[in-house]
Amino acid sequence: MKYKIIFTLGYIDDEEAIYRGNRGDILIINELGEYYDPYFITLESIKGEFTSNKVCYLWDKMVIVHELTTDNILKSIFELEKWLFQKRWIPLKDEDIEKHYFPKEDWIVYEVETDNVDS
């Protein structure tokens, strides 16, 4: 399966992005042209919010990575596919993509191809 991973606000592995530890401006496009909007986060970034007095920490479409780098995000696509994210998440509507992720001129696009053709 081929995917396009889009960093809608552009992206360079800089210290600020890694320090912040979360990223919600990424889109995944599958071969059918469906857009998904995962939320990438590190455990370190939620430590302060996930205290012992909380039962759980919830965030829609959350993907936890060790470090928030381009390489880790791209590698996570293989695991997301195995987890069948396309069956668990609802694709975005065109109007939502335009409203929240445009202009396209800022987009940085990577292509990832996995071995699994049955996703």
- Label residue 67 by pLDDT band (50, 70, 90): confident
Residue 9 has pLDDT above 90, yes or no: no
- pLDDT, residue 12, reads 66
Q: What is the pTM of this model?
A: 0.86
pLDDT tens digits for range 88-116: 999 999 999 999 999 999 899 999 999 86
- pLDDT, residue 14, reads 60
Three-state SS annotation for the chain: CEEEEEECCCCCCCHHHHHHCEECCEEEECCCCCEECCEEEEHHHHCCCCCCCCCCCCCCCEEEECCCCHHHHHHHHHHHHHCCHHHHCCCCCHHHHHHHHCCHHHCEEEEEECCCCCC
Which residue did the predictor score with more confidence, 118 or 119?
118
Span 20-26, mean pLDDT? Answer: 86
pLDDT tens digits for range 28-58: 999 999 999 999 998 888 887 777 788 887 8
